[in-house]
């Protein structure tokens, strides 16, 4: 079969890497892709109509959407209208990620545990609401804000600043509505599942590292590393997640007639009172995917195709019991200002150290050398019989990379060793 992957980051490289292992898959395209994703041919467009034309002309058997933006813009609706098979929720269901308020109302309707909240449509109401909540208080711009629209304010002044930032247009139209939310305390985990709207198959658990600095300090990022499984999701918690989050989610999709054939990702806080949903994403996590897919033994193309054809009940997934750790190498300065175009060497050595190298923000220079071309640049994943072994293998590979401009956290997955 021929597959088209939409996106260009480390998540999309991991998807291409995994899908390429299937004997059913003869060709993979990636749009816009990255020249270092060697499993795929790059297609230079992100225009939805052009992508649909491409899929029609090249008789693509399955289009897999990586990032949220095209899902929220309606790529699935467009492909379905043209009878092109595509993996992902339609734009209505994608609002679960595209609108925090929509997601909160969905959770309330279907009894999914989450933080208490108030939705505010103007600055005055939001400033009044933040005072009603104990500190710290969470302020969220309602729409997609590239991961930047959430503030956990520890003082009244910070809360006011966060509200003002939303209504000043910093996040564009995403800030016109603001969700003020109770701050949940606990440890976070990522629960990612495959669904066809009729049945749902959870993937293995994982944990991201959102903050830029070690010991979870500094600004929020897209994710500085991940590991799987996440020991915080022990069997007791897992049972509660299935019963209190996954099953009600599926019932909710059915009751609301969502056409949901893709991935649902619940960012969960494991609180004293059990798991509560912080947010829904309607696509694979990045970098969680780079830690999850290396553990998947089954054929991903079969599972995705079954989801699209609504026969997911025929599928069961087999997993490698080993631990996976993915360390993200970012450009120094990320998530603030950083350099691009720096030559990266030593990738072969890193691979020979037993790691998988996923390209996120890289490019090639005129001599064919790999160069940095973004904030999060590489994801380096290793598997180990134990979590400490996986950590050691991943960092041995990281240290083999010759790129003086790299920044990475040295404590990825360390917390998992204490549990």
Which residues are at the interface with ligand GLY (CB under 6 A)? 208, 223, 281, 285-286, 288
By a kind-dependent CB cut-off of 5 to 8 A, residue 285 interacts, out of ligand AMP, ligand GLY, none, with ligand GLY
| Minimum CB distance to ligand GLY smaller for 36 or for 206 | 206
CA dihedral 287, 92, 88, 35 (to 10 degrees): -60
| Minimum CB distance to ligand GLY smaller for 286 or for 342 | 286
Footprint of ligand AMP (CB under 6 A): 115, 138, 140, 150, 152, 181-184, 188, 210, 267, 278-279
What is the dihedral sign for C-alpha 83, 84, 87, 93?
negative
Q: How far is the CB of 222 from ligand GLY (least distance, A)?
A: 6
By a kind-dependent CB cut-off of 5 to 8 A, residue 317 interacts, out of ligand GLY, ligand AMP, none, with none
Residue 267 β-bridge partners: 190, 279
By a kind-dependent CB cut-off of 5 to 8 A, residue 279 interacts, out of ligand AMP, ligand GLY, none, with ligand AMP
> For residue 222, what are its two tokens?
């897209």
Q: How far is the CB of 246 from ligand AMP (least distance, A)?
A: 18
- DSSP tally for the chain: helices H, then strands E: 15, 23
Q: How far is the CB of 281 from ligand GLY (least distance, A)?
A: 5
By a kind-dependent CB cut-off of 5 to 8 A, residue 288 interacts, out of ligand GLY, ligand AMP, none, with ligand GLY
By a kind-dependent CB cut-off of 5 to 8 A, residue 286 interacts, out of ligand AMP, ligand GLY, none, with ligand GLY
Residues making up the chain, counted from first to last:
419
| Minimum CB distance to ligand AMP smaller for 137 or for 307 | 137
Which helix or strand (DSSP H or E) is residue 254 part of?
Answer: helix 247-255
Concatenate the DSSP letters of all residues of 80-113 into one string. Answer: HHTT--EEEE-HHHHHHHH-HHHHHHHHHHTT--
| Minimum CB distance to ligand AMP smaller for 57 or for 185 | 185
Residue among 72, 80, 129 at smallest CA distance from 280: 72
| Minimum CB distance to ligand GLY smaller for 281 or for 372 | 281
Q: How far is the CB of 91 from ligand AMP (least distance, A)?
A: 19
> For residue 224, what are its two tokens?
């500085």
Strands (E), 196-248: 200-202, 207-208, 211-213, 217-220, 225-228
| Minimum CB distance to ligand GLY smaller for 91 or for 281 | 281
Concatenate the DSSP letters of all residues of 362-383 into one string. Answer: EEE-TTS-EEE-SSEEEEEEEE
Question: Phi and psi dihedrals of 102, rounded to 5?
Answer: -60, -45
């Amino acid at each position: 079969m021929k597959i088209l992957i939409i996106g260009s980051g480390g998540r999309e490289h991991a998807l291409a890497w995994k899908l390429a292992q299937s004997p059913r898959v003869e060709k993979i395209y990636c749009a816009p892709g990255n020249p270092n994703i060697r499993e795929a041919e790059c297609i230079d467009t992100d225009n939805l109509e052009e992508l649909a034309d491409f899929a029609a002309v090249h008789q693509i058997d399955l289009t897999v959407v990586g990032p949220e933006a095209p899902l929220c813009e309606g790529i699935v609706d467009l492909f379905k209208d043209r009878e092109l098979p595509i993996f992902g929720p339609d734009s209505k269901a994608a609002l679960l990620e595209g609108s925090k308020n929509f997601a909160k109302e969905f959770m309330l309707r279907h009894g999914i545990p989450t933080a208490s909240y108030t939705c505010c449509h103007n600055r005055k109401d939001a400033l009044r609401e933040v005072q009603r909540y104990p500190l710290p208080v969470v302020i969220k711009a309602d729409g997609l804000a590239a991961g930047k629209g959430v503030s956990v304010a520890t003082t009244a002044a910070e809360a006011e600043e966060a509200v003002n930032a939303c209504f000043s247009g910093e996040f564009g139209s995403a800030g016109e509505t603001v969700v003020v939310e109770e701050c949940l305390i606990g440890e976070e985990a990522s629960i990612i599942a495959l669904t066809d709207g009729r049945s749902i198959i959870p993937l293995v658990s994982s944990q991201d590292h959102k903050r830029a600095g070690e010991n979870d300090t500094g600004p929020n990022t897209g994710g500085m590393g991940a590991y799987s499984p996440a020991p915080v999701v022990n069997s007791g918690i897992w049972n509660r997640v299935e019963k209190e989050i996954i099953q009600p989610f599926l019932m909710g999709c059915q009751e609301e007639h969502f056409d949901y054939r893709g991935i649902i990702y619940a960012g969960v806080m494991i609180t004293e009172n059990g798991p509560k949903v912080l947010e829904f994403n309607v696509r694979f996590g990045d970098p969680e995917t780079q830690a999850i897919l290396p553990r998947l033994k089954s054929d991903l193309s079969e599972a995705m195709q079954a989801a699209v054809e609504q026969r997911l009940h025929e599928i069961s997934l087999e997993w490698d019991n080993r631990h996976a750790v993915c360390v993200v190498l970012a450009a120094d300065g990320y998530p603030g200002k950083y350099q691009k175009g720096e030559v990266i060497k030593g990738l072969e050595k890193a691979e020979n150290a037993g790691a998988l190298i996923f390209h996120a923000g890289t490019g090639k220079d005129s001599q064919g050398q790999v160069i940095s071309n973004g904030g999060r640049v590489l994801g380096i994943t290793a598997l180990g019989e134990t979590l400490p072994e996986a950590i050691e293998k991943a960092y041995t590979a990281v240290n083999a990379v010759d790129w003086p401009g790299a920044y990475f956290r040295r404590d990825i997955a360390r917390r998992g060793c204490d549990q």
